[in-house]
A = this chain, B = another copy of it.
Amino acid sequence: MSYEMTLTALADPTRRHLLERLRDGPLAVSALARDLPISRPAVSQHLKVLSDAGLLLVEPAGTRRLYRLAPEGLDDLRAWLDRLWGDALDSFAARAHDIAREIARKETPQ
């Protein structure tokens, strides 16, 4: 949902591995846990974090639960990144040296 939760979810290597495996289509929990060095409950916990962050969707299929990437899962994060690294950044980069010299002469900021 929020970009904060998205970043928290993406910060873990195991969770990134899960996302990359789901890149090729939906998978059940046991299938995801099969080639990981951790227990199945641990995978379930990671899947919960990813789902709560809006990155995954679940679809029950019999006794199994199929997880897949949520198409709009990255929207909030992308919006935040775009806002942070916006156009103003480029102009500042161009003026960086001038600004630094001003500051060195104590004209700006603390």
Contact = CB atoms under 8 A, between A and B. Distances in A.
A92 B57 CA distance: 12
State the oligomeric state as a number of copies. 2
Interface in A43-86: 57, 59, 61-62, 64, 66, 68-69, 71, 73-74, 77-78, 81, 84-86
A42 interface: no
What's the interface size class on A, roughly?
Answer: 35 or more
B71 A110 contact: no
Which residue among A10, A16, A20, A30 has the maximum number of chain B CB atoms within 10 Å of its CB? A10
Contacts of A96: 26, 57, 59, 68
A36 to B, nearest CB: 14
A1 interface: no
A23 B68 contact: no
